[in-house]
Chain A
Amino acid sequence: MNPTSFMQLYVFMLAAFVGYQIITRVPPLLHTPLMSATNAISAISLVGSLVAAGSDRGMVSTVLGFVAVTAATINVVGGFVITDRMLKMFRREPTPVKDSATKSAESSASPPADAAKVAGGK
């Protein structure tokens, strides 16, 4: 094994260690977004696909690269979009804001609110 391979192994080990430390702290609440996020991130293999498709080293490499670029791009685009869509949905309960808001609403604007409810009920 040459020194480069060893450096790569160092990088891999350290990244795996960092990943382990971080990901054990992700709450189960966000496990699905975590999956789609890591999936989007590992679609960085697009970088390798781009080289295969664009370095003009024969038709086989180019076509294989093209399919790989397509597949990886699907994950990059789709992965980040869907992760964002999911994370957007996770909302905290608006308790502290709601308390003061409803109190002031009750004191000032409660009759119209009730009226609206009755109208809605009919």
Chain B
Amino acid sequence: MRETFTQLTYLVASVLFILGLRSLTKPDSARRGMQYAAIGMLLAIVGTLVQHEIVRFDWIAGGLILGTIIGIPLGTQVPMTAMPQRIAISHMFGALAATLVGVAEYWLHGADLGAAKMAAVGFEVLFGALTVTGSFMAFGKLQEIITGRAVTYKGQNTVNITLFVITVGMFVYLIVHPENAVIFYTMIALALLIGIFLVLPIGGADMPVVISLLNSYAGLASAATGFAIGNNVLIIAGALDGASGFILSIVMSKAMNRSFQNVIFGAFGAAPTTSAKSASGLTVRSISAEDAAIQLAYAKLVIIVPGYGMAVAQAQHQVRELAELIEKKGGDVKYAIHPVAGRMPGHMNVLLAEANVPYDRLYDMDEINGEFERADVALVIGANDVVNPAARNDKSSPIYGMPILNADKAQNIIVLKRSMNPGFAGIENELFYNDKTSLLFGDAKASLSKLVAEMKTV
């Protein structure tokens, strides 16, 4: 009877999870759908707690309370600008839970696991462990505890691939000889190392791909947990998470023109190349906030291109304020969102939504690219590589082939930029030297505040 109840709650939870994700296909229905998914989660937890197997509640209660105490501020207090590192650390927690359940399972059953169960447990701790350290590294880079730049050294690929091959070898050995505990724990240690090495050579601009990839790994670890302990709702939820991370990695890598293998193996072989093109002899034109404001005030269509610089400066509210002033003067404002703008999928959309920009003003690359020609001003705020025309016409450029926003097709381009330092990929940007381009130097937030002040007087 109790078993039936438990299985029923799992079934209902699975259905609610799938419906919850389906609700995310439309912004209007999304919130309600995810609330149902949360109810599904609650049901599954209750269903588990009434099981015969669970005989003591002291440690469970402790974990639930502690987790809630830590979880609530992580949900309510973290600012939207810190969302990439928040997501990265949550992948770590998810993978940690999966790994520890796997270790506990091995500790209890060890040699008696049998080949199929051992494969599941092995998969679980392998993906779990490398996601734990990988996500923590991603978190550290995004939080700037460790350098956000790519760390590379000679022979890096050889080291990584060797490590990977050895670990997979151990995994295969364990399926045949599950009783060898030394190999099991060594494999976990190596997987932890792989996680570190995997993220070490990845620079800030590549973070969206890595975060998506770790998302997928965390999901697969959860699914493997389901195989190991024979629980279908875990398999389903893990598969959904794995599929989601996988799709996002592909979307992100396409938007950066990186190959499929490059995604699967993360950073392997992705050593950053330096640009062949130098900017010597070219000059840029700078513009005062006053002149820029006049241009914006008389524009019929302004397309705003936000990038990571806007997130760093936390300037999204000033952007919205400026947009409202342009609209008051009779201009139309649209936002062009590149898939990899920022540090995770959808980063810019969340920030602008936080600043009360209605989401029907946010346009994907494919929707907006045809409109730049009609735009009087393209206002580039802290974006660099995603508007670099070299991706279109310079075969020697490392970003050649990457789809970009056609900001250079606009009548005028105003670029808000901190300094003339090149972007994260370290590539010169021809757009800045274009005749139609003027640069407004300074911190994005300060520049936007000046623009807002000037707009009010125009």
B-contact 0/1 string along A35-67, CB 8 Å cutoff: 111111111111111111111111011111111
Binds A, one of B46-54, B179-187, B443-451: B46-54
Q: How far is the CB of A32 from chain B (nearest CB, A)?
A: 4
A111 within 8 A of B: no
Binding-face segment, B154-162, B264-272, B342-350, B423-431: B342-350
B219 on the A face (CB < 8 A)? yes
**Residue A113 at the B interface, CB < 8 A?**
no
CB contact between A41 and one of B96, B221, B241, B356 (< 8 Å): that residue: B241
> Chain B contact residues: over half helix, strand or loop, or mixed?
helix
Pick the residue among B60, B75, B236 that contacts A79 (CB under 8 A): B75
- B208 shortest CB reach to chain A, Å: 9
Contact of B94 among A4, A42, A51, A87 (CB under 8 A): A42
Instruction: Give the contact stretch, choosing among B137-145, B192-200, B242-250, B293-301.
Output: B242-250
Contact string against B for A residues 11-27, beta-carbon threshold 8 Å, 1 for contact and 0 otherwise: 11001101110111111
Considering the complex, give the chain A residue whose CB is closest to the CB of B14. Answer: A15
Q: Does B235 contact A (CB under 8 A)?
A: yes
Q: Are B104 and A52 in contact (CB under 8 A)?
A: yes
- Residues of B close to A89: CB separation below 8 A: 80, 350, 353-354, 356
* Beta-carbon nearest neighbor of B101 in chain A: A48
Cβ contact within 8 Å between B72 and A45: no
- Confirm or deny: A112 has a beta carbon within 8 angstroms of a beta carbon on chain B: no
Q: How far is the CB of B390 from chain A (nearest CB, A)?
A: 24
**Selected contact of A64 from candidates B101, B238, B248, B356, CB within 8 Å:** B101
* Complex Cα–Cα for A83 and B56 (A): 32
Q: Is the interface of A mostly helix, strand, loop or mixed?
A: helix
Given the complex, which residues of A lie within 8 Å of B226, measured CB to CB? 8, 12, 48
Interface size of A by CB at 8 A reads 84
**Whole-angstrom distance between the Cβ of A7 and the nearest chain B Cβ:** 8
A8 near B227: Cβ-Cβ < 8 Å: yes
Asked if A105 is at the interface (CB within 8 A of a chain B CB), the reply is no
A39 touching B218 in the complex, CB below 8 Å, given contacts A29-B362, A89-B354: yes
Contacts of B34 in A (CB 8 A): 33, 37, 80, 83-84, 87
Interchain CB contact under 8 A, A65 and B62? no
**Contact between B101 and A32 (Cβ–Cβ < 8 Å)?**
no
Give bound CA distance, A13 to B75, whole Å. Answer: 32
Contacts of B364 in A (CB 8 A): 27-29
Stretch at the interface among B15-23, B163-171, B280-288: B15-23
Give the distance to chain A from B27, nearest Cβ to Cβ, in Å: 5
For the complex, is B91 an interface residue (Cβ under 8 Å from A)? Answer: yes
Question: Do B35 and A35 have beta carbons less than 8 Å apart?
Answer: no
Contact with A along B27-59 (1 / 0, CB 8 A): 110110011011001001100110101111101
Which of B63-71, B374-382, B433-441 lies at the interface with chain A? B63-71
- Of the candidates B62, B71, B242, B248, the one whose C-beta lies within 8 Å of that of A35 is B248
State A88–B97 Cα separation when bound (angstroms). 29
Interface residue? B337 (CB, 8 A): yes
Distance from A39 Cβ to chain B, minimum over Cβ atoms (Å):
5
User: A45 CB to closest chain B CB, in angstroms?
Assistant: 5
Q: Would you mind naming 8 contact pairs between A and B with Cβ atoms under 8 Å apart?
A: A19-B240, A39-B241, A50-B49, A66-B59, A71-B100, A72-B97, A73-B71, A75-B71
Binding site for B on A (CB under 8 A): 1-2, 4-5, 8, 11-12, 15-16, 18-20, 22-58, 60-94
Closest 3 CB pairs of A and B: A73-B67, A81-B75, A69-B63
